[in-house]
Structure 1
Amino acid sequence: MKKKNKKQLKFGLLGHNISYSFSEKYFTEKFEIGHFDNCEYTNYDISNIKSFSDVINETKGLVGLNVTIPYKETIIPYLDKLSKTAQKIGAVNCVTVSKKKKLKGYNSDYYGFKKALIPLLNEHHKKALILGTGGSSKAVAYTLRKLKIEYDFVSRKPDEFQFDYADLNAEIFEEYQIIINTTPVGTFPNVAECPDLDYSLFTKKHIAFDLVYNPEESTFLQKAKEHGAKTKNGYEMLVFQAEKAWKIWNE
């Protein structure tokens, strides 16, 4: 993409209640620093996925979108095509818009999470618990499969193959030494909230990874850290997935 192209190119984030979002600030600063004077990034805060078509039809010059909660899965029927990875994951967080308004969905969450998680891993990190079952959890599960790490889901409304939060005892914590929060619990402004766990079960052998990045240290991470766990928030993952999205939009 030529920086001096006079045609205005629009990018944005699709989601609901996203005024706190990382993406708008990140890309606006990126465009300023890189002198991408023809690029603009906007939040498209919609209360229903049905309004997605209006965003596409009414936004002139739109070439790329990030997608966040709660539309990573419900957006799929509105797309013309999916990348192989997005198809396997079953969730989309990046969309390209062609000149003819053809839409293709990708998943860069997987890439971002993988790059953020790998530096934390030690030999004994063989099994993971994924808290939550939404769109982000699917990218996390796909990453763990690729890394040959076994995993199970934890849900407030578990099916027969998932754990309930009440099931998580000392025995399970001994077996699963990576705990990943993919839920929005603890996100600003509800910073005092955290997943309903017995945090005394965390040890120095555990990794606590939170996809939440605002606040910088969520209550989940704070409590896990108090018991010696290695902790990481979702900021680095977001930067990696954002850069991957930028690459996809420019291919």
Structure 2
Amino acid sequence: MSSVKTDIPSAILTGHGRIAGVIGWPVEHSRSPLLHNYWLRRYGIDGAYVPLPVQPGQFELAVRGLQAAGFKGANVTIPHKEAAYALVDELDHSAKRAGAVNTLIFEKNGRIRGVSTDGSGFVASMKAAGHAPQGKALLLGAGGAARSVAAALQDAGLHVAVTNRTEARSEALAQALPGLERVAWDEWESRLGAYDLLVNTTSLGMEGGPDPLFCPSLAQASSSLIVADIVYVPLLTPLLAQAQKQGLKTAGGLGMLLHQARLGFREWFGQDPQVDEQLEAFVRQSL
């Protein structure tokens, strides 16, 4: 059992408080309220972060209402990320590269700035774990998370390859991110020795996901391969368990979850929060 203390002081909230939230449908599964409200209490900030269930088709109406109500911004999750991308007045570099927006920042002039923090959160989590990405990376999956992570890795100077069961999706991703290598799904296990980093960006291996027992062969991996998984329920996926059994370095999805939240918190609440053992232990308790 961890000896790290997870106690935090009581919340502070007045009529002057800063408010933000997470928009999704459904949204009750999101760990973001837990995470942000922990930080708010830890730093003694007058504010709150709330879950905002918004049905498809009501996204713009909801966002305009949040602006009018004085919210500072919001995170965006499924199924509203495309709507968020189309709605914002300004896309930063990360959002343009990722083709998605997961963070809305309401500016004082009434404009909305859109940011994608998933890719940068992944890279930051890897660095924090002592696994700074370098060399060649192979990504499993070609969805929105894959694009965010691939773009961030490319920006960090890595050669990035992608493999996906549906070739049309990996082809579309390669067109969106020039320089991306494509690998056939039935070939990537045999070619694994050529890569320094393997990242599962799919929901394969997730509890309740399409294939919770997803555990491909890592027999061809070099001894220096780092295996990462963006899934954090369970914390130790079958893929990570197999990698550890082979003596490979691993990184779970919890770190990405924590690090991707920092930018939004800093913009909304004026404090650059820290990701440390105390925070990780607190969030782990909910998983």
Q: State whether structure 2 residue 266 is matched by structure 1 residue 247.
A: yes
Partner of 1:52: 59
The reply to whether residue 72 of structure 1 matches residue 81 of structure 2 is: yes
1:230, distance to aligned residue in structure 2 (A): 1.0
Per the alignment, residue 237 of structure 2 pairs with 218
Structure 1 residue 228, shift from structure 2 partner: 2.2
> Alignment RMSD, CA only?
2.7
Between the two proteins, the alignment pairs up a number of residues equal to 244
Tell me what 1:146 maps to. 155
Residue equivalent to 1:167: 187
Please give the per-residue CA displacement for 1:152-203, whole angstroms capped at 9, x wherever unaligned.
1111211356334222232x11112311111223334449715463244445
| Consecutive unaligned residues in structure 1, runs of 5 or more | none
What's the TM-score once normalised by structure 1's chain length?
A: 0.84
Q: Structure 2: how far apart are the matches of 1:211 and 1:26?
A: 17
Of 161, 183, 198 in structure 1, the residue corresponding to residue 217 of structure 2 is: 198
Which stretches in structure 2 are left out of the alignment for 5+ residues? Answer: 1-11, 175-181, 271-287
- Structure 2 residue 112 is the aligned partner of structure 1 residue 112: no
State whether residues 101 and 115 of structure 2, in contact with CA within 8 Å, keep that contact through their aligned partners in structure 1.
Answer: yes
Q: Which residue of 2 aligns with 1:33?
A: 42
CA contact (8 A) 1:209 1:234 kept: yes
Distance 1:13 1:181 in 2: 25
CA displacement, residues 25-81 of structure 1 (integer Å, 9 cap, x when unaligned): 0111122222223x2212223452x32113213332321111234443442111111
Structure 2 length-normalised TM: 0.74
1:184 paired with 2:203, answer yes
Shift of 1:6: 3.1
Deviations 1:137-166 (A, max 9, x none): 222112211222111111121135633422
Identity of aligned residues (%): 25
1:91–1:135 Cα contact (<8 Å) kept: yes
Is the alpha carbon distance of 1:196 and 1:236 closer, same or farther for their aligned partners in structure 2, counting shifts above 3 Å?
closer
Report the Cα distance in structure 2 between the residues aligned to 1:19 and 1:188, rounded to whole angstroms: 16
Give the Cα separation in 1 of the matches to 2:82 and 2:13.
Answer: 36
* 3-state DSSP of counterpart to 1:6: coil
Structure-2 separation of matches of 1:133 and 1:70 = 17
Output one character per residue of 1:92-151: Cα deviation in whole Å (capped at 9) or x when no partner. Answer: 2211123565321012223222222232148xx521111122222222112211222111
SS at match of 2:256: helix
For 1:62, the equivalent position in structure 2 comes to 71
